[in-house]
Amino acid sequence: MFDWLKEIINLLSTPSISFTLLAVIIPFVFPPTDWFEKWHRRLGLHHLWSIRGGWGLFGLITAFLVFGFFDENFGKILSKPDNVPIMMLIYFVFFFVWLSMHSAYANDARLARGEKVEEDYGPDEKVLVWPDLVYIELTALVLMTVFLIIWSVGLPAPLEEPANPSLSPNPAKAPWYFLGLQEMLVYFDPWLAGVIFPTFIIVGLMALPYIDDNPKASGYYSFANRRVSIFIFMFGFLALWIFLIVVGTFFRGPNWNFFGPFEEWSIAKVVPLTNVNLSEYVWVKLLRIGLPSHWLVRESVGIIMLLLYFGVIPVVLARGKLRGLVERLGPTSYALIIFLALAMVFLPIKMYLRWTINLKYIIAIPEAFFNI
Amino acid sequence: MAENKKPGFVDSVAKSQIWKSIFRTGIPVTRRQRMMGVLNNVFLHLHPVKLPKHAVKLKYTWCMGGLSFFLFLVLTISGILLMFYYRPTVEYAYTDIMDLSEQVPLGIMREIHRWGAHAMVIAVWLHMFRVFMTGSYKPPREFNWAVGVILLTLTLLLSFTGYLLPWDQLAIWAITVGSNMARATPFLGHEGPGASLLAIGDVNFVTMSSDIRFALLGGRFVGEGALLRFYVLHCVGLPFIVAILMAVHFWRVRKDGGISGPV
């Protein structure tokens, strides 16, 4: 029963398809420009952030998970004790994205009517910490304690076989909050996926207040006043972090092969590895003269492409569309922003190059462990 | 109540010398007593005495920062209790964990610790998300946002180091996968780009037994050395740094103008 539906969901979950869907949907859901805003309204997507839209989202996720639990294969994965936090994470992320956008739209509507935002009670409306805050804190603390006790009594912490360095489980997975990084390993070498990109994420987050020079909407929920920064954040948070964690947790089975949610994790599944380096594309398949022996010549095409990407695009944008940004921020801040942004977009670009032309590395210098 | 002439139990306790020596302001009934109660208590004094009204609205704060801190305390307490029973050696680690579940009737301390850790990771992320969505990282709170990002990273590292301690298959392979990334660190890992440049003649400085992964694991693979290192980092090293940064974080919330809000 419902096999056709499971087949469809399996197919849609393929990273190339599900990521594309997500990447296309996000700008319409969190419209960064007027054009997207227009379609956001026309498609009725702003109803997502109404009360009814919230219940709709809730119902959809719950229906999917309940449906999943009754499936032999998906149920097995969902009921792993260490996957419980990820299910909570999915609910919480949806709920709080909804709640913040709900509040933001309400505030935007108030501002458009010339009213004060919901958080603005005026400077004289003060409450005493005792009792107004301490009782909330006490309630939150008691509820959290009860929640933890129920969770702990109901679900024993996992303990597998004793550690055995000679018996590697397949797949061997990092803790769930690092699975986004492990999923990146499909597309990048560990020095990028495990070291450079996490560093960029941390540096980028820390730099955020210094590069976002929009002074509006500080201290209250608002979307209209900061739609570009919210769009970028949502794309990074939802598509490049949460989504990759979900894929890494639920959809990666033995040999880190992709398995749809309703597919059995079979160790026998063989996915042919046909990935090709850019240098082979150019020298072998296109020019038919074989790989040059010196690495600099061999990788020259990839090096030039990356130089164009990280070096020329920022200059072109600075003279064109982003001229205003450069003038406001100065060249140093601009260079930092554009570099971080290009690095962030580099991940989906590489993902698509893999999915479309099976590209392995743009630059491949295995002699020096320098593969991009 | 008012007609009752005889002082009740609560009254007599509140008027006793012991009580009054501890809680100087008495039972906080009047406005002045309530303010003094916050001011005179070292813990409550984390807070100001008065707040703008939106600051106590759950819809605004989600209470996630407070819950992150509370979970940190839960994890500290349950972690200390676990330390009484747990020995970080290859010989005993796994069996000690086994004993916790098999020998302790109704024992849930390990569960509290593990699920509390997951909950803390989620709470910290959501706290960051709230701060972003309210634009609270904007001036004058830039620095405190940066401190918060470091605290978030440390939360993940705390959870990661704790993941190894049960010493089961789940633990060592998760840490093996995670720490394998370290050997690809540029210049500092033996399979990282640039590492081969750090050499004099044929002598490499960055090798399997001198790179950053070796420093992290105290060995070439996840073994006895790694277990001890992760244990020390998990129980002492990282909490020590986190505690200092939390103090900075909370202090700066106050010093940067209190909780953010519409001006």
Inform me whether the pLDDT recorded for B2 exceeds 60: no
Residues in A closer than 8 angstroms to B37, CB to CB, are: 130
Is A107 in contact with A221 (CB distance < 8 Å)?
yes
Question: At which residue do the structure tokens 């501002």 appear?
Answer: A111
Q: How far apart are CA A189 and CA A369, in angstroms?
A: 9
In sequence order, which ranges of B107-235 are alpha helices (DSSP H)? Answer: 109-133, 142-164, 169-180, 212-217, 224-232
For testing contact with chain A, the best of B29, B118, B124 (most A CBs within 10 A): B118
Residues sharing a CB contact under 8 Å with residue B45, sequence separation 6 or more, in sequence order: B38, B39
Q: How far apart are CA B86 and CA B97, in angstroms?
A: 7
Residues in B closer than 8 angstroms to A93, CB to CB, are: 126
Split at pLDDT 50, 70, 90, the class of B195 is: confident
- Nearest Cα of chain A lies from the Cα of B175 at a distance, in angstroms, of 7
ipTM of the complex: 0.94
Which pLDDT score is estimated for A346?
Answer: 96
Size of interface A-B (CB pairs under 8 A): 275
Which of A235-249, A253-267, B237-251 shows the lowest mean pLDDT across its residues? A253-267
CA-nearest residue to A171 within chain B is B173
Average pLDDT score over chain B: 92
Is B27 in contact with A117 (CB distance < 8 Å)?
no
Domains, chain B, in order of start with CATH, read: 10-44 (no CATH), 54-255 (1.20.810.10)
Residues B24-50: tens digit of each pLDDT: 888 888 999 999 999 988 999 999 999
Helix (H) or strand (E) holding A331: helix A331-357
- Our measurement of the distance from residue B131's CA atom to the centroid of its chain's CA atoms, rounded to an integer in Å, reads 18
CA-nearest residue to A226 within chain B is B135
Q: What percent of chain A has pLDDT over 70?
A: 100
Which of A288-292, A310-314, B140-144 shows the lowest mean pLDDT across its residues? A288-292
Is B62 in contact with B126 (CB distance < 8 Å)?
yes
Of A96, A168, A368, the CB nearest to B196: A368
Q: How far apart are CA B150 and CA A136, in angstroms?
A: 27
What's the Rg (C-alpha) of chain A?
A: 24
CA-nearest residue to A117 within chain B is B262
Cis peptide leading into residue A171 (ω within 30°): yes
Mean per-residue pLDDT, A154-173: 91
Q: What percent of chain A has pLDDT over 90?
A: 75
Inform me whether the pLDDT recorded for B263 exceeds 80: no
Tokens matching residue B27: 């039972």
- Nearest Cα of chain B lies from the Cα of A297 at a distance, in angstroms, of 19
The structural domains of chain A, with segments of one domain joined by +, span 3-119+173-256, 278-371
Inform me whether the pLDDT recorded for A331 exceeds 70: yes
- Nearest Cα of chain B lies from the Cα of A322 at a distance, in angstroms, of 22
Which of A144-153, B30-39, B144-153, B231-240 shows the lowest mean pLDDT across its residues? B30-39
Residues A343-354: tens digit of each pLDDT: 999 999 999 999
Whether residue A174 and residue B31 make contact (CB cut-off 8 A), yes or no, is: no
Cα dihedral sign for B245, B250, B255, B261? positive
Which pLDDT score is estimated for A369?
Answer: 87
Which pLDDT score is estimated for B136?
Answer: 95
End-to-end CA distance of chain B: 45
Which pLDDT score is estimated for B106?
Answer: 78
Buried b (16+ CB within 10 A) or exposed e, B78-115: bbebbeebbebebeebbebbeebeeeeeebbbbbbbbb
**Longest CA span, chain B:** 95
Average pLDDT score over chain A: 92
Split at pLDDT 50, 70, 90, the class of B53 is: very high
Of A82, A121, A219, the CB nearest to B134: A219
Which pLDDT score is estimated for A215?
Answer: 87
- Nearest Cα of chain A lies from the Cα of B148 at a distance, in angstroms, of 9
Cα dihedral sign for B10, B11, B17, B19? positive
Q: How many CB atoms lie within 10 A of CB A90?
A: 17
Which pLDDT score is estimated for B131?
Answer: 97
Residues in A closer than 8 angstroms to B221, CB to CB, are: 165
Mean per-residue pLDDT, B47-57: 93
- Nearest Cα of chain A lies from the Cα of B1 at a distance, in angstroms, of 22
Which pLDDT score is estimated for B5?
Answer: 66
Residues B119-163: tens digit of each pLDDT: 999 999 999 999 999 999 999 999 999 999 999 999 999 999 999
